[in-house]
């Protein structure tokens, strides 16, 4: 099983970025944790600050990946293009949206996700551990 894990803008700064909200784990820590818990899953982990990269990468998943875990970061709240990209492959490559923080407890602008409607589910508020939980849910769905 091959899973693409996508991370959007500013998530490269995890570890030092507002740790009271996002925790002290870096993206590399999260990647190591996921690969440790799921050694049999082929996990490809990527981060970009570019919306275009994310859209291109999602569009390339058909036939290459079985599923997507995505933290679109700020693009969650703004990107119809990302929603369209996820929707375009959703019949073959299901996605799970993950957020480190519980965005519903934060500024109102973060309460709405444009991208979640193109995903099979959404998981938030468990910091880095949420990625492993999201992968567990995705693997379960792919195997059922
Ligand atoms: C985030 C929440 C977003 O609102 C924010 O823009 C991020 C991170 C999260 O993981 O909690 O960059 O996606």
What's the domain range around 90? 2-143
Number of compact structural domains in the chain: 1
Over residues 17-54, the pLDDT tens digits come to 999 999 999 999 999 999 999 999 999 999 999 999 99
The burial class, CB within 10 Å (0-12 / 13-18 / 19+), for 126 is middle
Read off the pLDDT of each residue in 84-106 and give the average, rounded to a whole number. 98
How far is the C-alpha of 27 from the C-alpha of 138, rounded, in Å? 20
Over residues 119-142, the pLDDT tens digits come to 999 999 999 999 999 999 999 999
Distance from Cα 107 to the centre of ligand 1, integer Å? 11
How far is the C-alpha of 46 from the C-alpha of 5, rounded, in Å? 6
Distance from Cα 93 to the centre of ligand 1, integer Å? 23
From 75, 79, 99, 115, give the residue whose CB has the most ligand 1 atoms within 8 Å, as the site to mutate: 99
Domain of residue 26, CATH code? 3.40.50.9100
Rounded to 10°, the helix 80-89/51-59 angle is 10
Task: Find the residues whose C-beta lies inside 6 A of ligand 1.
Answer: 10, 71, 73-74, 76, 99-101, 103, 110
From 110, 114, 124, 130, give the residue whose CB has the most ligand 1 atoms within 8 Å, as the site to mutate: 110
To the nearest whole number, what is the mean pLDDT of the chain? 98
Query: What's the pTM value of the predicted model, to 2 decimals?
Result: 0.98
């Amino acid at each position: 099983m091959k899973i693409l894990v996508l991370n959007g803008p500013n998530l490269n700064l995890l570890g030092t970025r507002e740790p009271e909200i996002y925790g002290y784990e870096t993206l590399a820590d999260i990647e190591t944790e996921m690969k440790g818990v799921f050694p049999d899953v082929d996990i490809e982990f990527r981060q970009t600050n570019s919306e275009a990269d994310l859209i291109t990468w999602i569009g390339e998943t058909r036939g290459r990946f079985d599923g997507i875990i995505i933290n679109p970061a700020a693009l969650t709240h703004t990107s119809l293009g990302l929603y369209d990209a996820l929707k375009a492959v959703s019949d073959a490559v299901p996605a799970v949206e993950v957020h480190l923080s519980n965005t519903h407890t934060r500024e109102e602008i973060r309460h709405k996700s444009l991208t979640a409607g193109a995903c099979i589910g959404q998981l938030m508020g468990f910091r880095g551990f949420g990625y492993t939980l999201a992968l567990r849910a995705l693997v379960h769905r792919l195997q059922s």
